[in-house]
Structure 1
Amino acid sequence: MSKPLIEVKDLKIHFPMKNNILFNKEKRFVKAVDGISFVIHENETLGLVGESGCGKSTTGKSLLRLIEPTAGEVIFEGKDITKISTREMRDVYRNMQLIFQDPYASLNPRKTVGKLIEEPLLINSDLSPKDRLDRVYELLDVVGLNAYHANRYPHEFSGGQRQRVGIARALALNPKLIIADEAVSALDVSIQSQILNLLRKLQQSFGLTYLFISHDLSVVKHISDRIAVMYLGEIVELGTKIGLYDKPLHPYTQALLSAAPSIKSTNRRERIVLEGDMPSPVSPPSGCKFHTRCFAKMPECELVRPQMRDMGDGHYVACHLYK
């Protein structure tokens, strides 16, 4: 296993709520991320999966400090970037980039594609105009577009082509870590596979490391080396994709996988239907946050928060079933 590129330790992101009740001075918080820890190694893809509202995208943005963490550490190449200044973060941004979910909203419609890709180079490099243009053409070629596309505007492209432009822009400064936030969820299924294959090819060519955020289990399985399953601001299970898909341990992971469609009848699992909705992150349940919907809950689950346990072979689970 290669050395860790980024380590996240007990990360918390709590958003304060406005108090609308007269004379009630108690502060309330939305606990979007509530104490998660994980490591991503060099040249690895870690998939982060879970239901909408579980805190996946908030986690990704906090690694870039687009959202400031409430507590915890984000150690990138040996340095805790939560404690450095905004000026120092500019150097970090060269090595950490984000691919946005929406290929339509993430590109400025008033600028040509060439200008959009050139912008990071203009701000962060001393390249001459000719060298910047050569780099733009090179990046367009790398993501499967042509040089003449540089003079076109975003509205002249399809969704898949726009996402390729977003990937080219993310690659402009030769980053080490790319956070892909639902990078293919807005695309047709046939286009999704093209973008996923492109991301894998780029990883092999440039030695990239990915945090791949998605709610689609089949997509995560296709591209990830390891997978972390998130529920209501916490990671409940983490393991290799083979270990996690072949032998899911946490009841929530089992329910997610049972709902995933499969072409092969031999791979289909008995459907597990979860009752109720995800609780509010403002007032999460005590003990295990999943106990209100869990089909295997015990009395202890309502009182004690389970700790992450090492089950061997790089498989970890936070559940009282595995003491």
Structure 2
Amino acid sequence: MNEPLIEVSNLKKYFPIKKGIFNRTVGHVKAVDGLKFTIFRGETLGLVGESGCGKSTTGRTLLQLLRPTEGEIMYEGRNMVGLPAEELRKMRKDMQMVFQDPYASLDPRMTVGELIAEPLDIHQVVTGQERARRIDELLEIVGLNSRHADRYGHEFSGGQRQRIGIARALALNPKLIVADEPVSALDVSIQSQIINLLQDLQEQFKLTYLFIAHDLSVVKHISNRIGVMYLGGIVELANKQDLFENPMHPYTQALLSAVPSPNPLIKKDRIVLQGDVPSPANPPSGCSFHTRCHACMDICRIDKPELQDVGGRYVACHLYTNA
């Protein structure tokens, strides 16, 4: 395995709930609650889970777009949490983000050239003719051409807009890209083009990805390892082949049982989860999944299981506490 690029430990992001005329804090939404994982240099770590489980908040907190409530984010051995603004600004050259909505993530008042050049201008990387050459080069890299630089975002299709967003993310030659559901707003035929582009760019520029999605087939296609999130925490983290062939956590088993099979002759036993996802403002005691788990035991209602190594993968479940 390659050396770690990002090491996250005990990462928490709580949002205050305020009420009353004095705007007092009466509770917290625990969007991310005690995450621990590593992203190795050159790999793609997929992050999946139901809507509202904290995937996007994790990505934004990783890049310090949201400051964490608690925990450590080690980037190349240096803790990013609590860094002064100027030092964090310098580190951000190495970390960029591709957003979910290609329609909302591009400023409609700026031309494509201005959008791509913005990070170059902020960090004062290149100027003059070199700046123009860099814009043209980035457009070519993502499958567009230099004539597009003078147009505005509304003149492009969704897939083309996402290519522009990817070009902007590549402008500073980053090492890490957080892709926050980058294909969920696109047509299925366009999704495959963007996924293939991301894979080609990863190989060409030695990029490392945190790929956030809810579509398991997409995550399986692009990821090396996959982390499954539930209610702000990771419940299973494994190599993609191991995860799909032998899911261990009951929540992972339920998710994979819902994936349609391309062969209609193959019958799958569907695990139907009962009830709704609990509120992150009032999570259950013990294991956060115990209210919907078909394998719930008494200890699950009391003690929160830790993410532990079980045969080369990581699982947070009392079924494997003594494994």
* TM-score normalised per structure 1: 0.96
Greater shift in the superposed pair: 121-130 or 270-279: 121-130
Does 1:235 pair with 2:200? no
Aligned-residue offset at 1:125 = 2.5
Does 1:60 pair with 2:48? no
Aligned-residue offset at 1:20 = 3.6
Counterpart in the other structure of 2:316: 318
AA matched with 2:151 = R
Counterpart in the other structure of 2:216: 217
Query: 1: CA distance between counterparts of 2:24 and 2:41?
Result: 46
AA matched with 1:206 = F
Could you list the per-position Cα deviations for residues 46-79 of structure 1 after superposition, in whole angstroms to 9, with x for gaps in the alignment?
0000000000000000011111100000001111
Could you list the per-position Cα deviations for residues 241-270 of structure 1 after superposition, in whole angstroms to 9, with x for gaps in the alignment?
000000000000001011112213476631
Tell me the C-alpha RMSD between the 2 structures.
Answer: 1.5
Could you list the per-position Cα deviations for residues 123-169 of structure 1 after superposition, in whole angstroms to 9, with x for gaps in the alignment?
11342211011001100010000111111111110000000000000
Counterpart in the other structure of 1:11: 11
Counterpart in the other structure of 1:168: 167
Does 1:117 pair with 2:116? yes
Greater shift in the superposed pair: 114-123 or 94-103: 114-123
Question: Secondary structure in 1 aligned to 2:121?
Answer: helix
Greater shift in the superposed pair: 169-178 or 61-70: 61-70
The change in CA–CA distance for 1:240 and 1:49 in structure 2 (over 3 A counts) is same
Q: Is the 8 A contact 1:48 1:56 kept in 2?
A: yes
Counterpart in the other structure of 1:81: 80
AA matched with 1:161 = Q
Q: Is the 8 A contact 2:307 2:317 kept in 1?
A: yes
Could you list the per-position Cα deviations for residues 190-218 of structure 1 after superposition, in whole angstroms to 9, with x for gaps in the alignment?
10000000000000000000000011111
Aligned-residue offset at 1:25 = 7.3
Could you list the per-position Cα deviations for residues 52-110 of structure 1 after superposition, in whole angstroms to 9, with x for gaps in the alignment?
00000000000111111000000011110002111111111100000000000000111
The within-5 A match list for 1:123-138 is: 123-138=122-137
Query: 2: CA distance between counterparts of 1:99 and 1:78?
Result: 24
Q: Is the 8 A contact 1:258 1:268 kept in 2?
A: no
Greater shift in the superposed pair: 302-311 or 55-64: 302-311
Aligned-residue offset at 1:21 = 9.4
The change in CA–CA distance for 1:55 and 1:122 in structure 2 (over 3 A counts) is same
Query: 2: CA distance between counterparts of 1:133 and 1:188?
Result: 32
The within-5 A match list for 1:90-101 is: 90-101=89-100
Query: 1: CA distance between counterparts of 2:108 and 2:267?
Result: 44
Query: 2: CA distance between counterparts of 1:156 and 1:321?
Result: 54
The change in CA–CA distance for 1:31 and 1:138 in structure 2 (over 3 A counts) is same
Query: 2: CA distance between counterparts of 1:303 and 1:187?
Result: 43
The within-5 A match list for 1:1-323 is: 1-20=1-20, 27-265=26-264, 269-313=268-312, 315-323=313-321
Question: Secondary structure in 2 aligned to 1:30?
Answer: strand
Question: Secondary structure in 2 aligned to 1:138?
Answer: helix
AA matched with 2:4 = P
AA matched with 1:14 = Y
What 5-or-longer segments of structure 1 have no aligned partner?
Answer: none
What 5-or-longer segments of structure 2 have no aligned partner?
Answer: none
Query: 2: CA distance between counterparts of 1:118 and 1:264?
Result: 47
